[in-house]
């Protein structure tokens, strides 16, 4: 720990909701003795220990790997998805981003496609459904091919990898003024559309995934770019442009009615 570490007090305004069907409300807590060296989730752990000691229900929030790769943590922190830092998940956010006596408002992702399960935990099954709608990729079976048989340019490999960096956390939906899931869906479409293995069904996949996205009740993209700005993995808007192209081609050149 660095010598610059300080101990601060924060005032928390948390969204509490018992379950899917009950109405939620904001609850205020003051938490003392928070180290600026602790992560945001460690601060919430500290709060929960305090709540448990006081015989109160702990605050429910999603988290898992706590190293920014699993996509489980969420939280709208002072109106920004994953907090104020760029390209950072909530678990990578540290209390040094806040000052003593700050009020921190913590809300769940707000989208009709992400119902609240409890407090700030939301059900992101909708994203799994979008992925499932994408279907399969055609793979040659039999002996392993020669590694050089499928030429893939470095540029495309990089773009596909960048798109595949999406951890499916839902920050794009949460921060979008329209609650649109275009950045997520487009990243999942792009990571396959850019590579030869995924090219075979690229159009069909774009069509099916966009269809699923629309049916799940996400909003319409109007190119605000808040998604890109809030994305902890810096997923680029060019993925959305690619999806728009793929979708149009899929619809226009479809042989089926």
- Catalog residues that contact another protein under the rule CB under 8 A: 13, 26, 76, 78-80, 86, 105, 107, 110-113, 175, 177-180, 182, 207, 210-211, 213-214, 217-230, 237-238, 240-245, 247-248, 251-254, 256-257
What tokens were used for 251?
């619809």
Phi, psi of 9 (to 5 degrees): -115, 130
Residue 179 · residue 219 · CB < 8 Å: yes
Separation between Cα atoms, residue 191 and residue 195, nearest integer Å? 7
In the complex with another protein, the residue whose CB is nearer, 35 or 214, is 214
Quick one: DSSP state of residue 30?
E
CB of 192 to another protein, least distance (A): 17
Quick one: DSSP state of residue 86?
T
Residue 8 · residue 100 · CB < 8 Å: yes
CB of 17 to another protein, least distance (A): 10
CB of 184 to another protein, least distance (A): 13
In the complex with another protein, the residue whose CB is nearer, 66 or 110, is 110
In the complex with another protein, the residue whose CB is nearer, 66 or 249, is 249
In the complex with another protein, the residue whose CB is nearer, 73 or 227, is 227
Tally the residues of the chain.
Answer: 257
């Amino acid at each position: 720990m660095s010598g610059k570490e300080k101990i601060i007090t924060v005032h928390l305004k948390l969204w509490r909701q018992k379950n899917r069907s009950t109405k939620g409300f904001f609850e205020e807590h003051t938490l003392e003795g928070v180290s600026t060296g602790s992560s945001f989730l460690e601060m919430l752990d500290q709060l929960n220990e305090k709540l448990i000691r006081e015989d109160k229900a702990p605050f429910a929030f999603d988290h898992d790997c706590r190293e920014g790769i699993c996509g489980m943590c969420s939280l709208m922190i002072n109106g920004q998805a994953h907090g104020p830092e760029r390209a950072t998940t909530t678990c990578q956010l540290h209390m040094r981003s806040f000052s003593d006596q700050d009020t921190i408002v913590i809300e769940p992702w707000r989208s009709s496609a992400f119902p609240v399960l409890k407090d700030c935990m939301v059900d992101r099954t909708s994203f799994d459904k979008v992925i499932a709608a994408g279907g399969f990729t055609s793979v040659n079976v039999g002996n392993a091919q020669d590694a050089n048989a499928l030429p893939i340019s470095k540029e495309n490999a990089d773009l596909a990898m960048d798109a595949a960096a999406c951890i499916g956390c839902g920050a794009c939906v949460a921060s979008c003024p329209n609650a649109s899931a275009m950045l997520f869906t487009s990243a999942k479409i792009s990571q396959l559309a850019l590579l030869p293995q995924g090219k075979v069904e690229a159009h069909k996949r774009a069509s099916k995934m966009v269809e699923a996205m629309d049916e799940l009740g996400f909003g319409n993209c109007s190119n605000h770019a808040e998604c890109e700005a809030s994305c902890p993995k810096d997923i680029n808007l060019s993925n959305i442009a690619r999806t728009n192209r793929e979708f149009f081609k899929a619809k226009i050149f479809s042989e089926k009615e």
